[in-house]
């Protein structure tokens, strides 16, 4: 018993020493959080640990650190906002290399009225890693929204050399273009030309771009406000005060960080929903990433290493990793106010050193936390680098190593496929793209395969087509002379004369000669209610085939994810409501048709829609994204043709003019929408009533037995 207590005491002491930040070897510990990647449905799945917690450093006396950078010596440059300083720390030697403070500093003390500068709240820091005519190696840029000039608060950017000597101070641009906007710099990044990219607190106009002399060059990029259709209508109708009460914010989300990589690429992060949270900008500021998956939407910082791998920090303690093309790799971390390595209270800054270790600052807990990459992560990065360097065979080998660790890795399958695509192994590329669910690049591989097949078999296809055409005309000539297919035609005619088959096939005549056909349909000379029901069943099956049975490139919803009951219910309800509402409207408008006639007219108008669903589904198996226009044309022609037939059926059955028919259809659609809204309201009310009684019963039971 004493031994157990002794062991427990030792474990508690070790945990306490760790939480106090006693210096240990730079070795990763067991993972305290899970690493998540994506499956082929775009859902998070747990994968191998990509990073393990390394050092937790709490003894530097940090107070609300906001940002971190890596200098040319692989040392950490920390914006220690709470202590009004910038700290340069060497994690290898565990020493503070330099403490940078700016207090009542005069750049030209020999000048009597030269202003004095004081750094009070450094929240952004950037280190120059490539020397040029305009910037020196190791130069440090510091953003301070609450700096002082002669004791008065101003937003300033301080430019220092690698020894911590103040070189320049930049304040609010005096350009008329900048106007009366506040200048409260929170983050800063600088390119080789000394051009500064500044994130100013509360400035929704975008990233401020300033020359190396501090002149305002314009807003480099801005975020757009994305509104739903309902919000757009409300914006048009309501006043600003009413919009504010509705919670509709028309102010664009602000940027949270900006970073310039070793190649001059400009990256930015933003916090908020319905916004491009990660951007890679071209020279005009336009986002080069399109429709990428973003793991989180509360980003606080962004960093890009020399290989172009993108690292993001989230306010909720999550670290996201992306390829240089913006493809999501994985995410890890969590928010939790406990003294456990790898947990964050407020993750505010991120950087990656030359050894691949991630360094983060937690402004809530005021400490440094490092993460060491595992073999799994290093293999992924090596595969990406080899692909970028056109070493495709080696990249495939590395991705296969990743697959040996995680057979379900969508990232690995996608990576292998990209390399196979480059070495023109199109079938292998297509197979892996299909596993990865990458429809766009699968389309590209399939296009190449189809092109190769056509080149190899084009002459045979032309010859076979010619022979079949010739054979057809020969048979037609022989049949015309000797009637050899008369028994076949008689059998087909006999089959078609079967009552129910004839009733169903009458829909073909309706599509060709609608006016006369609807007349006979109304007079009950042709068609039947049973035939109409069978046609609607065929219509549903063809639509279901279109929804769930298209080729991989165009089948965005997995058949296992389809709610068949909802599809059936929606199909029946919409058609039933349309027929009932049409009857009610036409009854009011002196229509002559019965509900049964409207039902038959609607059903017998579905033949073009059926053909559109079938042909577009079949075409989807041989088409690529380049032919998506043709697929849509086929489908929408079917819909349009059937709509015209429904229009003509109402006109003929009700004996309406063109204008009366339009009015009838519009009123019918309006009534359908109103009924659906009422049904939705009733369903919501019933659900709330049930919830109320459920909570009431639970509370009563709790009070009785408590």
Confidence class for position 699, pLDDT limits 50, 70, 90: confident
User: Given a cut of 50, is residue 682 above it in pLDDT?
Assistant: yes
419 against 704, higher pLDDT: 419
154-174: burial string, b at 16+ Cβ within 10 Å, e else = bbbbbbbebebebeebbebbe
pLDDT tens per residue, range 357-383: 999 999 988 999 999 999 999 999 999
Helix (H) or strand (E) holding 312: strand 310-314
The closest alpha carbon to 268, from 181, 217, 209, 347, belongs to 209
341 against 576, higher pLDDT: 576
Kindly state the DSSP code that residue 223 receives in the 8-state scheme.
P
Listed in sequence order, the residues at least 6 apart from 283 whose beta carbon sits closer than 8 Å to its beta carbon are none
4 against 376, higher pLDDT: 376
Listed in sequence order, the residues at least 6 apart from 533 whose beta carbon sits closer than 8 Å to its beta carbon are 603
674 against 557, higher pLDDT: 674
Please tell me the distance from the alpha carbon of residue 555 to that of residue 589, in angstroms, as a whole number: 43
**Domain 380-484 - what CATH class?**
mainly alpha
Confidence class for position 236, pLDDT limits 50, 70, 90: low
- SS3 letters for 109-120? CCCCCCCEEECC
The pTM score is 0.80
676 against 65, higher pLDDT: 65
Q: Is residue 286 classed as helix, strand or coil in its secondary structure? A: coil
Please tell me the distance from the alpha carbon of residue 621 to that of residue 544, in angstroms, as a whole number: 16
User: Given a cut of 80, is residue 608 above it in pLDDT?
Assistant: yes
Please tell me the distance from the alpha carbon of residue 48 to that of residue 36, in angstroms, as a whole number: 8
What percentage of the chain reaches a pLDDT higher than 70? 91
Please tell me the distance from the alpha carbon of residue 365 to that of residue 8, in angstroms, as a whole number: 27
332, 98 in Cβ contact below 8 A? no
Give the mean pLDDT of 6-22: 36
User: Given a cut of 60, is residue 40 above it in pLDDT?
Assistant: yes
127, 188 in Cβ contact below 8 A? no
Residue 127 token pair: 């280190």
484-519: burial string, b at 16+ Cβ within 10 Å, e else = eeeeeeeeeeeeeeeeeeebbebbebbbeebeebbe
Please tell me the distance from the alpha carbon of residue 34 to that of residue 167, in angstroms, as a whole number: 45
Place of tokens 């009225």: 113
The pLDDT value given to residue 378: 94
The closest alpha carbon to 66, from 76, 77, 81, belongs to 81
The closest alpha carbon to 260, from 62, 428, 156, 124, belongs to 124
Kindly state the DSSP code that residue 11 receives in the 8-state scheme.
H
Residue 308 token pair: 């172009």
65, 349 in Cβ contact below 8 A? yes
Residue 99 token pair: 């403490």
The pLDDT value given to residue 342: 73
Sign of the alpha-carbon dihedral angle for 523, 525, 530, 531: negative
The pLDDT value given to residue 8: 36
Q: Where are the alpha helices (DSSP H) in 355-498?
A: 375-388, 392-405, 410-422, 426-436, 439-482, 486-496
Environment class of 53 (CB within 10 Å of its CB; exposed 0-12, middle 13-18, buried 19+): buried
pLDDT tens per residue, range 302-318: 999 999 999 999 988 89
pLDDT tens per residue, range 84-103: 999 999 999 999 999 999 99
User: Given a cut of 50, is residue 418 above it in pLDDT?
Assistant: yes
pLDDT tens per residue, range 481-538: 888 888 888 888 888 788 889 889 999 999 988 888 888 888 777 888 999 999 999 9
Q: Find the range with the poorest average confidence among 141-145, 241-245, 264-268, 433-437.
A: 241-245
Domain ranges of the chain: 380-484, 498-688
Q: Find the range with the poorest average confidence among 256-270, 518-532, 612-626.
A: 518-532
- SS3 letters for 593-644? CCHHHHHHHHHCCCHHHHHHHHHHHHHCCCCCHHHHHHHHHHHHHHHHHHHH
In this structure, the strands spanning 166-170 and 152-160 are antiparallel
- Average model confidence (pLDDT) for the chain? 87
Q: Is residue 392 classed as helix, strand or coil in its secondary structure? A: helix
16, 8 in Cβ contact below 8 A? no
pLDDT tens per residue, range 434-482: 998 889 999 999 999 999 999 999 899 899 999 999 998 988 888 888 8
Kindly state the DSSP code that residue 212 receives in the 8-state scheme.
T
Place of tokens 């049930």: 690
The pLDDT value given to residue 42: 78
């Amino acid at each position: 018993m004493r031994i157990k207590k002794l062991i427990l005491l030792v474990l508690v002491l070790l945990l306490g020493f760790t939480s106090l930040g006693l210096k240990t070897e730079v070795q990763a510990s067991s993972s305290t959080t899970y690493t998540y990647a994506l499956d082929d449905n775009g859902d998070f799945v747990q994968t191998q640990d990509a990073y393990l917690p390394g050092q937790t450093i709490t003894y530097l006396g940090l107070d609300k650190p906001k940002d971190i950078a890596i200098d040319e010596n692989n040392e950490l440059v920390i914006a220690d906002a709470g202590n009004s300083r910038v700290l340069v720390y060497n994690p290898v030697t565990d020493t503070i290399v330099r403490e940078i403070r700016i207090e009542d500093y005069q750049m030209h003390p020999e000048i009597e009225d030269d202003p004095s500068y004081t750094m009070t709240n450094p929240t952004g820091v950037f280190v120059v890693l490539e020397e040029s005519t305009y910037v020196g190696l190791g130069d440090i840029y510091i953003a301070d929204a609450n700096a002082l000039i002669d004791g008065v608060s101003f937003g300033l950017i301080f430019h220092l050399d690698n020894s911590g000597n103040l070189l320049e101070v930049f304040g609010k641009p005096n350009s008329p273009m900048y106007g009366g906007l506040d200048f409260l710099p929170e983050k800063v990044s600088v390119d080789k030309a000394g051009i500064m990219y500044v994130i100013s607190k509360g400035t929704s106009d975008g990233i401020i771009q300033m020359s190396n002399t501090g002149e305002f060059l314009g807003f480099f990029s801005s975020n757009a406000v994305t509104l739903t259709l309902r919000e757009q209508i409300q914006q048009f109708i309501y006043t600003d005060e009413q919009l504010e009460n509705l919670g509709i914010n028309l102010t664009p989300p602000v940027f949270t960080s900006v970073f310039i990589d070793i190649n001059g690429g400009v990256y930015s992060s933003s916090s908020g929903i319905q916004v491009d949270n990660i951007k890679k900008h071209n020279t005009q500021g336009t986002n080069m990433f399109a429709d990428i998956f973003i793991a989180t939407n509360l980003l606080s910082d962004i960093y890009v290493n020399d290989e172009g791998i993108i690292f993001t920090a989230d306010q909720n303690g999550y670290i996201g990793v992306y390829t240089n093309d913006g493809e999501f790799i994985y995410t890890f971390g969590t928010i939790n106010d406990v003294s456990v390595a790898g947990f964050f209270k407020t993750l505010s800054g991120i950087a990656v050193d030359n050894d691949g270790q991630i360094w983060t600052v937690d402004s809530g807990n005021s400490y440094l936390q490092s993460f060491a990459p595992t073999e799994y992560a290093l293999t992924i990065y090596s595969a990406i680098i080899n692909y970028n360097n056109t070493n495709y065979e080696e990249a495939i080998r590395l991705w296969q190593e990743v697959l040996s660790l995680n057979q379900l890795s969508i990232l690995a399958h996608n990576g292998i496929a990209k390399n196979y695509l480059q070495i023109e192994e199109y079938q292998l590329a297509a197979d892996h793209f299909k596993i990865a669910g990458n429809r766009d690049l699968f389309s590209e591989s399939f296009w190449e395969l189809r092109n190769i097949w056509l080149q190899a078999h084009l002459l045979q296809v032309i010859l076979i087509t010619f022979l079949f055409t010739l054979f057809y005309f020969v048979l037609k000539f022989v049949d015309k002379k000797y009637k050899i297919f008369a028994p076949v035609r008689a059998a087909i005619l006999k089959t078609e004369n079967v009552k129910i088959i004839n009733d169903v096939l009458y829909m073909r005549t309706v599509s060709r000669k609608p006016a006369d056909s609807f007349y006979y349909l109304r007079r009950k000379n042709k068609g039947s209610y049973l035939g109409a029901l069978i046609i609607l069943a065929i219509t549903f099956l063809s639509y279901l085939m279109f929804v769930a049975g298209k080729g991989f490139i165009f089948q965005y919803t997995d058949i296992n994810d389809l709610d068949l009951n909802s599809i059936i219910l929606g199909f029946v309800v919409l058609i039933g409501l349309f027929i009932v509402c049409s009857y009610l409207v036409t009854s009011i408008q002196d229509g002559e048709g019965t509900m049964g006639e409207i039902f038959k007219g609607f059903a017998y108008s579905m033949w073009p829609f059926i053909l559109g669903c079938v042909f577009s589904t079949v075409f989807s198996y041989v088409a690529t994204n380049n032919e998506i226009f043709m697929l849509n044309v086929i489908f929408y022609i079917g819909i349009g043709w059937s709509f015209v037939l429904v229009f003509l059926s109402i006109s003929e059955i009700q004996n309406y003019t063109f204008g009366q028919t339009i009015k009838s259809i519009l009123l019918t659609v309006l009534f359908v929408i109103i009924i659906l809204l009422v049904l939705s309201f009733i369903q919501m009310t019933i659900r709330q009533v049930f919830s109320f009684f459920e909570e009431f019963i639970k509370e009563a039971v709790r009070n009785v037995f408590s």
